[in-house]
Structure 1
Amino acid sequence: MELRDIVQDYLTDNEQGMRELITWFLNDVMKEELSQQAGASRYARTSTRRAHRNGQRQRTLKTRFGELSLKKPQLREIPFETKVFEKYARTEKALVNAIIESYIQGVSTRNVESIIAHLGVDQISASYVSKVGRELDTKVLEFMERPVETYYPFLFVDASYFKVRDECRYVNKALLVIVGVKTDGHREVLAAQIAEAEHELTWEGIFADLKERGLGKVDLIVSDGHMGIQSAAGRMFPGSSWQMCHVHFVRAVLRKVPRKYHKEIAEILRECLSDAGRLAEYAIQLDERGLTRAADTIHRFQHGLMNYRAFPPEFWKKIRTTNLLERVNRELKRRTRKIGAFPSDASLMRVAGSLLIDINEEWITGSRYLSLNSEMISWDTEAADFTAT
């Protein structure tokens, strides 16, 4: 089937089209893996060839879109190894495991019950769910405890909230996530942890864990305006600077003014965010208009708004906000929407950790976030030393 036909099927029947699209994509991934392992493309005559193609075998892969029939290629001289089944199955297994765990514990929503019926797994044993959970926990723990590099020029820090069952009630719990940009410009998921809330000591603990795993130096830490992050980062990474996310800053100011002023003030704030003097003048104007709380918010964050300018201008757009992590959080929310509420902290960490591993693998093999290399890192950040405000 041609890609054009697959796209047409997707437009007319989303579920069937999605199955065909994923099947085409994963088959294509295996073809590329085969060429890399064979050392040559099909029919190529080259001295780098290590093996020859030897047909295909049908393999099935269960996904939330149904069962896919894939064509796993074979090599004659050496065994063909693919990451398709392992990688795709890990996240799917974590999601299904969380759904079944909710069902067994009697905390399932209507969404969960309908999925259970669709999967036909309502008779699955609690011991099997526990076994799968332990296997996933081991993989997530290995990822979260792996050694990291000693120097990450940029850290992005954020939290998203999920509903988790706590004995007889549901509570919102924070999933704290830290992403770093390496000296080669690639992104890397460094840490994730579940917490009752974003307390300063919690952030200090997760930063301390990163240092124990090898992290020694950071230049810029980008986050929202949470005081706990600022204080903890200042103590754990002296000499670093803190950058207040511009998107979160505008939202923080707008929360202090009547809605009728939102459009006007948001536009002016965005214009002022490249000029500290102009921003200070605008704070005075807001104060004179009686919008004192908005002016106070500007004063509160003013020392953390311009630190991104200590770095090369070509990086500014990508290091003055936490948009990088916002996209990660949106993906976590999207993929876990069907679960509704997690039956336990372990279940949340299992699913989130599996998704973060997948995201990290895509980043490592994908394009660089910043056009950066270790030779060009010579900027002087002394003028932007960390100041907790």
Structure 2
Amino acid sequence: MSDPIVTFDEQAIRSDLKELVRQTVEDTLNGLLEEEADDLVGAERYERTAGREAYRAGHYDRKLVTTSGEVTVRMPKLKGMRFTTAIIERYRRRETSVEEAMIEMYLAGVSTRRIEDVSEALWGASVSATTVSNLNEKAFSSVEAWRSRPLTRAYPYVYVDGIYLKRAWGGAYENVSVMVAIGVNDDGYREVIGAAEGFTESGECWKGFLSWLRSRGLRGVRMFTGDKAAGMVGALAEVFPDAAYQRCTVHFYRNVFSKVPKSKRKLVAGKLKAIHAQESFEASEEKALRVAEDLEAMRLKEAAKVVREGYAETLTYTRFPVEHWRRIRTNNAIERLNREIRRRTRVVGTFPDGKSALMLVTARLKYVADSEWGSRRYLDVSLLEG
């Protein structure tokens, strides 16, 4: 005789567990509120003491949406004083994490109607389109204030880059650029100092972006590091004429590799890295010219031409302290941010407008900047004073 087969209703168990959690949250909140009321009154329920400051006057019910579902909170009423609680903010109808989730959905380009449906499915209570709009206007204001904050410090090193996102534009879906800048401040810590939308990485867009940074107080820049985007170098020279320009060595290598067959890229990579492994500008320049000659001998004339015409822009870092070289000759400092932006925006696909795209990018930049990324010292900037 075969053993009896045990079966269970998974959906029913999930439902029961969810209700158990919701009920536990509700009971806990109500218990905490009762404790607060007792502390304010100065006596237990029905206790008669000369030192009591107020009397109980019943309860009234409030609905509160939490991540565990909608709960009913019994708010104590007092006679002789106003009941105030530190547990639930006055007039609040949703848990903070619920509001943050709705804000993030909106920033990601989800429609307000869709957010209503999602909130109903996740938290057991829908929200109106007006509520969603009000929440996100609040979020936009906070993010925009951070994005446009005054820059009150000096930033000796600044890294700039642009990434492309797809958004609706003029009835069609096109790629637009979001230009990002991070700076190493005069204490050696990294900060996100700017993010703005530019429809292309043209000279006018870069000029507008850099001028905006300057108007907010960007000063003390000794060197910009970036790839050789169209119009970037000219805009840098025009807006910050006293700052040097360092072409990212990694992007330089990629430009050379585009002229080299795959079978020879490993060999060429070793030669290119040797250029930037030298101890001085003169040694690096000499090595670059020898590498160009080697490439010509390998019948890679186009690659040799790229090396001859571009190596000087990649050696600007040699004017600065040798301890800084490894971190200022590439755009690696900004790549962590770019990966985070791409990871977060990839799930959105196409943004409905430029505002939601820029706000989501800025919100993610702020999140990363407030994390360990911005709390670790990146460079010993005091070496610049020597």
Residue 369 of structure 1 aligns to which amino acid in structure 2? Y
Q: Distance in 2 between matches of 1:238 and 1:249?
A: 23
Which of the numbers 352, 360, 384 marks the counterpart of 1:377? 384
Percentage identity across paired residues of the two chains: 29
Go from structure 1 to structure 2 and tell me whether the alpha carbon gap of 1:296 and 1:227 turns closer, same or farther (over 3 Å shift): farther
Mark the CA change 1:285 to 1:352 in structure 2 (over 3 Å): closer, same or farther. same
Instruction: Tell me the amino acid that sits aligned with residue 110 of structure 2.
Output: S
Counterpart residue identity of residue 290, structure 2: E
Aligned to 1:161: 164
**Cα distance in structure 1, aligned partners of 2:152 and 2:328:** 20
What's the CA shift for 1:307? Answer: 1.2
Any conservation in 1 of the 2:292–2:308 contact (CA below 8 Å)? yes
Q: Deviations over 1:25-51 (max 9, x none)?
A: xxxxxxxxxxxxxxxxxxxxxxxxxxx
Equivalent AA in structure 2 for residue 145 of structure 1: S
Match of residue 312 from structure 1: 321
Mean CA deviation greater in 266-275 or 282-291: 282-291
Q: CA deviation at 1:372?
A: 2.7
Q: Which runs of 5+ in 1 are unaligned?
A: 1-58, 68-78, 81-85, 107-111, 380-389
| Deviations, residues 343-375 of structure 1 (Å, cap 9, x unaligned) | 2111111111111112222268611111234xx
Equivalent residue for 2:360? Answer: 351
Matched, 1:329 2:338: yes
What is residue 151 of structure 1 aligned with on the other side?
A: 154
The CA deviation string for residues 8-37 of structure 1, in whole angstroms up to 9 with x for no partner, is xxxxxxxxxxxxxxxxxxxxxxxxxxxxxx
Is residue 290 of structure 1 aligned with residue 299 of structure 2?
yes
Number of residues of Structure 1 aligned to a counterpart in Structure 2: 295
Task: Give 2:352's aligned amino acid.
Answer: P
- Alignment match, 1:102: 110
1:171 aligns with 2:178: no
In the alignment, what sits opposite 1:220?
A: 223
Structure-2 change in CA distance of 1:121 and 1:163 (3 Å): farther
Counterpart of 1:232 in structure 2 is: 235
3-state secondary structure, aligned to 2:106: helix
Distance 1:311 1:121, change over 3 A: farther
Residue type of the partner of 2:219? G
Indicate the structure (1 or 2) with the bigger Cα radius of gyration.
2
- The alignment's C-alpha RMSD in Å is 3.3
Match of 1:139 among 136, 142, 165: 142
Distance 1:368 1:150, change over 3 A: closer
Contact 1:217-1:237 at 8 Å conserved across structures:
no
Q: Secondary structure at the match of 2:350?
A: coil
Q: TM-score, normalised by structure 1?
A: 0.67
TM-score (norm 2): 0.68
Structure 2 letter corresponding to 1:290: R
- Once residues 357 and 87 of structure 1 are traced to their aligned partners in structure 2, the CA distance between those partners, rounded to angstroms, is 18
Query: Can you list the C-alpha shifts for 1:271-305, whole angstroms capped at 9, x where unaligned?
Result: 12232211122113323433222122212322211
Residue 155 to residue 294, structure 1, CA distance change in 2 (3 Å): same
Q: Given that residues 116 and 128 in structure 2 are in contact (C-alpha distance below 8 angstroms), is that contact kept between their aligned partners in structure 1?
A: no
Uncovered stretches (5+) of structure 2, i.e. residues with no partner? 1-63, 70-85, 88-94, 278-283
Return closer, same or farther for 1:137/1:297 CA change in 2, 3 Å cut-off.
same
Cα distance between partner residues in 1 of 2:184 and 2:342: 23
